[in-house]
Structure 1
Amino acid sequence: MKQNHSFSQMGRQIKRVVCAMSGGVDSSVAALLLKQKGYEVLGFFMRNWDIRDEQGVCKADQDAEDAAWVCKKLQIPFQEVNFVKEYWNDVFSEMIRDYESGITPNPDILCNRHIKFTALLEHARHTVGADALATGHYARTSAGEFATEYSGQQVRLLKAVDRLKDQTFFLSQVPQKALRRTIFPLGEFTKDVVKKIASSAGLERIAARKESMGICFIGKRNFSEFIAQYVDPRPGNFVDLETREVVGRHNGVHQWTVGQRCNIAGLARAYFVAEKLTDSGDILVAPGHDHPALYSSTVHAGQPHWIHSPPEDFYGRGMLECEFKFQHTESLVPCVVTSRTHNPWHRSPSKNDLTVSLANPLRALTPGQFAVFYRGDECLGSARILRPGPSQFDLDVDSCRTKRRES
C-alpha cells in the first residue's frame, strides 16, 4: 500500500503539491517521488519566453512537449502556465538595463525570486489550491520534505547532499514566505541516483536529455548576436591599464564582462577585461589571465537578503564571519562581512550596505553578480555586488608610491 505523506500543521493538511516541470530529469523525478509518497501532484510547465532563436527554434516548445509526456507517463495532471509578461517585466527588462549600465546580471537568481517562487507559487495557490510548490532543485530546507507555512516557523535553506549539484546559490534570493511552502524532493539524492530512478520508472528518454544551458528560460545563444537585438552598439576603446595605450576597439561595454578574454584582432598578447568605464565607453584590459588587476580581496555589496533572519552577530556586533562565493561553480572562501552604515537596522538601498573582506583575493569579482553567504550547510542569503575593492595591482602601485614618498 502506498504510504500517504500528506502532513498536518495547525489543523491544515498539506496534500496537494504543484511540481514545476521543465521537461528535464530533475523535475520529472521530483514529481515521481512526490507521487510515490502519496501526495496529490500536479505538473505545471512555465512558458516564460516565446521568442524563437536564430535558427527559428523556440526551446520552450520541446521542453513543454517533454514535460507533458512525463506527466502523462506518471498519470498526473499537466498544465502549461504563461509568465512571459512577468518574466519580461521583472527579469529580462532588468537584465537589459543592467547590460546597458555596463554591469553583468545573474538572471537565474532573479528568475527564481520573481517567477518560480513568487508568480508560479501564487498562481498554484490561487488557481488549484496548492498547499505547496515542489521543484527539481538540488537543495534542502530545515523543514525536511514538509512545507511549514501553517506552523509559523522560520525555514533555513540548506545545501543538498550532492555538493557538486547543490543549487542553493541560485536560491539565495528566495523569500522566506515562499520557502515555507516549498519542497525540494531531490535534496537527499545525488545526480546519478536521480538518473537511475528515472530510468527504472520508464523515463529513459528524459534521463538521456542533455543538461539545459544558457540564460534562464531563453537557452543557449550566441550572446553577442542576442544582446545586440536589445542594446544599441556604443563603440569604445580597449585600453591597456598599465601603459594607458589604446590596443583595440569594441562595440559596447554590454558585450563584455570582467575577467573575459578580449581576443583583440592583430595582437598576439592575451588581454582580459579588468574594468569597464561606462562614462567614456572604454574598457581597461590587463595583459595576462592572472594579472594582479583582476584580483581583489574586498567586495562592496548592496542591501542583503537574509533567507532565515538577519544573523544576530552581524546586527549585534556589525560583523559576520561566514563563507562567500559569487559564482556557482567556485569554492567557498572564508570572509568577514561588515555593515557600511552606522545603524545596520536602518538600511538604505542607495548606499553600499556591506563590505566583504575575503581571506584570499579572488579573480574577476563582477558588479551585478551576487555575493552569496554560507555558514556550514546553511545558505544565509545574498547581496548584489556593486563593485570590487582595490585590486592587487592598485595596492601594489599605491605601495610603490608610498615607498617613493618615504624615501
Structure 2
Amino acid sequence: MFKKIALGISGGVDSAVAALLLKTKGYDVEGVFMKNWDIADETGKCTADEDFKDASDLCERLNIKLHRVNFVKQYWNEVFCDLIKEYEHGYTPNPDVLCNRRIKFNHFSKFAFEELEADAIATGHYAKTSFGNFLENYNANQAVRLLRPKDLRKDQTFFLCQVRQEPLRRTMFPLGDLRKSEVKRIAAENHLERYSQKPESMGICFIGSRNFQHFIGEYIESKPGKFIDIDSGKVVGTHDGLHQWTVGQRTRLQGVPDAYFVARKNVDENIIYVALGTTHPALFSDLLRVSKPHWIHSRPEELERAEILRCDFKFQHTEGLVPCRICEITDENLCVHLDQAQRALTPGQYAVFYRNDECLGSGKILNPGATNFSLHYMRNSESSEASNDLEASR
C-alpha cells in the first residue's frame, strides 16, 4: 500500500539513518530538503547551504533522488511573523512547535502528496504512532495516536503536539524504536559516521549562535521600562523591552549584589517584576489557564462528559511529566491544576498533555494562576486581619 515515501532530509544523522532504514526495507524513497530561512548568521555564513551539501552527499550515496524546496516565504509569514507578534505582546512563543504544524506537517506533506505523489512521508523525529513506525498497522477507518518513542531522553512528541490528523496518519517515524546511541551505531556500521559527528542543532534554528536579545532587537523596537522588586515594590533597574525577557530568566542587573529572576510581566505598564533567588515563591504556581486545545486523536471522553480529565503535563521539552487535573472553562479554554507547583510557567509556551505513552495534544499557556508568593501573601493578610479583629474585640 505504501511504496513511495518522501523523507524530510536535513543533513543530520537522524534523517540519514531514517533514509538508510527505509531503503533497506525496499521503499522507493525520495528526499526533500526544506529551506525555511535564508538570512546568514553573524559570520556571514548560511548553515542551510552546508546542510544541503551533506543531504546531497547522503542521497548520492544511497541512490535517493533529492528535491530542494523553498519554504522561506511560508516560514516567514506563518511562523516568524507570528513569533514577533507574540513577543510584542509579552509572550514567549515556541517556533519549533509552529514549524512542525505549519511547515513540515503542512507545506512539506502537501508537496509530498500532491507534487511527488508519495504514498507517505517520513521524518527523523524520535516519535511513534499507533499505526507503527512504517505504517504497518495503518487503518483507513481509524484515527491515529501520537506515541512517545523508545528513547525517552530524545522524545520529540513535545514538538509534534500541534500536528493535525491528516498528515500524521500517513507519516512514518523510522527511529521510533531506536535509541540515539543505536542510531549512531547504525550510521557508523554503514559508513555514515560523518553525519553522527555533526553537532546537533540546539535552540531556535534561525538564531543559531547569536545573542537572542540582539537578534530580536533587529525586528522589535526597544521600549524602555522598569524592573521592579516584587517584594519591596522598588525599582531595581531598567530594561529595553518586554520582548527581550522571559519568565524565570536571570536578569543580571548591574549594581545589584543578589540574583534577580523575571517573575512576571505587566504588558500595559511595560513593567517586569523580578524576584530574588531562583527558588522565590513568585516563580512557582500549580494552576494555569490554557487556550482552546488541539487534541491529536480526539477530545478526551472525560471532557465530553464534562468531567475532570486526569493526565500528565509538561511545558518544557527537557522537563519530566507532572500529574494534573483538567477541566474546560469559558470558550473551551482549559483550567489546569498541577499536582506539584512548577517553576516559571510561561505565557506563550505550550502546555502539552500525556496519558501513559500517548501525547494527547496541547494548548497555549495564557497565564499562570496565583503563584505560591501570592497565596502566601493572601494567607498572611487574612491572618493579620483576623488578629486585628480579635484585638479590636477585646
| TM-score bracket, shorter-length normalisation | over 0.9
Deviation at 1:217, TM superposition (A): 4.8
Contact 1:272 1:285 in 2 (8 A): yes
Match of 1:252 among 233, 241, 250: 241
SS of structure 2 residue aligned to 1:220: coil
Counterpart CA distance in 1 for 2:206 and 2:134 is: 28
Number of residue pairs matched by the alignment: 386
1:112 aligns with 2:100: yes
Encode CA deviations 1:192-219: one digit per residue, 9 max, x unaligned. Answer: 0000111111111111111111213553
State the Cα RMSD in Å.
1.2
What SS does the aligned partner of 1:317 have? coil
Shift of 1:312: 0.4
The equivalent position to 1:311 in structure 2, one of 300, 309, 327, is: 300
Detail structure 1 runs of 4+ shifted over 4 Å in the superposition.
Answer: none
Partner Cα distance (2:150, 2:195) in 1: 22
More helix by share: 2
Question: For residues 34-183 of structure 1, what are the structure 2 equivalents within 5 Å?
Answer: 34-147=22-135, 151-183=140-172
Question: In 1, Cα distance between the equivalents of 2:71 and 2:28?
Answer: 24
> Contact 2:290–2:363 (CA<8 Å) still a contact in 1?
yes
Distance in 1 (alpha carbons) for counterparts of 2:209 and 2:33: 19
Stretches of structure 2 that go unaligned for 5 or more consecutive residues are 388-394
Question: Separation in 2 of the partners of 1:218 and 1:199?
Answer: 30
After superposing the two structures, state which structure 1 stretch, 314-323 or 229-238, moved more.
Answer: 314-323
1:257-272 map, 5 Å: 257-272=246-261
CA distance in 1, matches of 2:139, 2:307: 33
Partner of 1:6: none
For each residue in 1:160-192, what CA deviation from the matched residue of structure 2 results, as whole angstroms up to 9, or x when unmatched? 000100110000000011110100000000000
In the TM superposition, 1:329-344 aligns within 5 A as 329-341=318-330
Contact 1:298 1:390 in 2 (8 A): yes
1:344 alignment partner in structure 2: none
CA distance in structure 1 between the aligned counterparts of 2:348 and 2:302, rounded to whole angstroms: 27
Give percent identity, aligned residues only. 54
CA deviation string 1:120-151 (max 9, x = no partner): 00011111101111000000000003447771
Equivalent position of 1:355 in the other structure: 335
Distance in 2 of aligned mates of 1:392 and 1:321: 23
> 2:15 — aligned with what?
27
Structure 1 residue ranges without an equivalent (≥5): 1-12, 342-346
| SS of 1:14 mapped into structure 2 | coil
3-state SS of 1:177 partner: helix
Structure 1 CA distance for aligned equivalents of residues 111 and 359 of structure 2: 27
Q: Distance in 1 between matches of 2:289 and 2:56?
A: 45
Q: Which amino acid aligns with 1:335?
A: C
Q: Distance in 1 between matches of 2:208 and 2:304?
A: 40
Residue 391 of structure 2 aligns with which residue? none
Asked if residue 370 in structure 1 is aligned to residue 381 in structure 2, the reply is no
Q: Hey, what does 2:175 align to over in structure 1?
A: 186
8 Å CA contact 2:131–2:138 kept in 1: the answer is no
Q: Distance in 2 between matches of 1:177 and 1:121?
A: 10
Tell me, in whole angstroms, the C-alpha distance in 2 between the residues paired with 1:159 and 1:14: 23
1:405 matched to 2:385? The reply is yes
1:299 to 272, 288, 304: 288
SS of residue matched to 2:57: helix
Q: Is the 8 A contact 1:49 1:218 kept in 2?
A: no
Render the CA deviation track for 1:323-346: whole Å, top value 9, x for unaligned. 0000000010000011113xxxxx
**Greater mean alpha carbon deviation, residues 239-248 or residues 316-325:** 316-325
- Alpha-carbon distance, 1:314 to partner: 1.9
Query: What aligned pairs does 1:228-239 form with structure 2 within 5 A after superposition?
Result: 228-239=217-228
Give the structure-1-normalised TM-score: 0.93
